Amino acid sequence: MTEIRFHGRGGQGAVTSAELVALSAIDEGKYAQAFPSFGPERRGAPVVAFLRVSGSRIRVRSKVYHPDIVVVLDPTLLDIVDVAAGLKPGGTVIVNTAKTIEQLRAQYGFKGRLAAVDATKIAMEEMKVPITNTTMIGALLKTAPLTTLSAMEQPLNHRFGRIAERNKKAMERAFAETTIRE
């Protein structure tokens, strides 16, 4: 089972990202669950979402305390939240940032596997809005084969309708542009 924790801000699509990947994995015959963790927060407040994907039934029904992967949709959270808290040894942190992996390591002390992509730039160029949810799905799928880009098409079409194509392009670009270092 692969456990993922998403960190974002209300309105950025962290919850939507988790749900879309779960739907795609289920369509491929896998087991998945996605759920948010937030209280009375409003747009802009920090939000956490969780995703589990497995080849067998998932019996765990708790938050993800020890993720295999952490996805950070908003780089400003790096200054206020310990996003790598509980990360399993050998785990991966994926950050939406214009910084290099070396700069991230120097500034935040990340150890282990680290991935970076300028998802905000991609979202602005492809979708004309700074919402990075589908863009970060591309980065996630490059780091872990939870599902495929082609399997994401149906959930994206269903969720986004006429703007799904722009979301697909952003996701595909992020997949291609994500840098990963051990």
pLDDT of residue 78: 95
- Three-state DSSP state, 110: coil
pLDDT of residue 41: 57
Per the DSSP assignment, residues forming a β-bridge with 4 are 51, 69
Task: Label the pairing between strands 113-117 and 31-37.
Answer: unpaired
Q: In what order do the strands lie in the sheet with 69-72?
A: 31-37, 46-54, 2-9, 69-72, 92-96, 113-117, 179-181
- 103 is in which domain, residue-wise? 2-181
Amino acid in the structure at residue 3: E
Write b or e for each residue in 98-134: b if 16 or more Cβ atoms lie within 10 A of its Cβ, otherwise e: ebebeebeeebebeebbbbbbbbbbbbebbeeebbbb
Residue pair 81/46 in contact (Cβ under 8 Å)? The answer is: yes
List the CATH number of the domain containing 124. 3.40.920.10
Domain count, the chain: 1
**Consecutive 10-residue runs of the chain (182 residues): their mean pLDDT?**
94 90 95 82 80 95 94 95 94 97 93 95 94 95 94 93 94 97 92
